Amino acid sequence: MNTSSKTSNSFIARLSRDFPDLKFQKGEQEHWSPRTNTITYNPNQPLRDLRYGVLHELAHARLNHTTYGSDFELLKMESLAWSEAARIGRRYNVRVSSNHIQNCLDTYRDWLHRRSTCPTCGAHSLQKDAHRYQCLNCQAVWRVTSGRFVRPYRRTHNLT
């Protein structure tokens, strides 16, 4: 086991002790499941990214984020979770980079921008419900997928 693996294992072990109501499990991507009280994390990534991701998902858990009704509400929840992750991180001597936070939030902002752009006239529109937008300019209506994991993720690794 290399030093990075030992460090990440001890970080997860400490979180498990400090938050006994939550389960931490290895997986492909960071994710918070309110249904099972489980935070999934990918152990095969740089230690910094693992810590940031786990703290972010832990923040969702601590903030009781379970569901959202609109794309804008999701963006708000992500922003709140990053603020809480930075706060929790101080307890573990992890300084969550504001550049990293803004880069992650930019992926949601870009995703929201694309979803809200009218495919007919290019105007920005309002969400009618979880699956539809309607253009205020030309009245076009279009459907969007409900999955937030469909959004493209930016991958920038050298942010400080």
Question: By the 8 A CB rule, do 39 and 31 touch?
Answer: yes
Task: List pLDDT tens digits, range 94-110.
Answer: 999 999 999 999 999 99
pLDDT digits (tens, 9 = 90+) for 9-50: 999 999 999 999 999 999 999 999 999 999 999 999 999 999
Based on the structure, what is the number of domains in the chain?
1
* Model pTM score: 0.86
Contact of 46 with 60, CB cutoff 8 Å: no
125 found inside a domain = yes
Residue 158 maps to a domain:
no
Whether residue 151 is contained in a domain is answered as no
Q: Which domain holds residue 81?
A: 3-146
As a whole number of angstroms, the distance between CA 52 and CA 122 comes to 36
* Residue 57, both tokens: 């998902």
Asked whether residue 129 is assigned to any structural domain, the reply reads yes
The tokens describing 111, both together, are 């995703």
Q: Assess if residue 157 is contained within a domain.
A: no
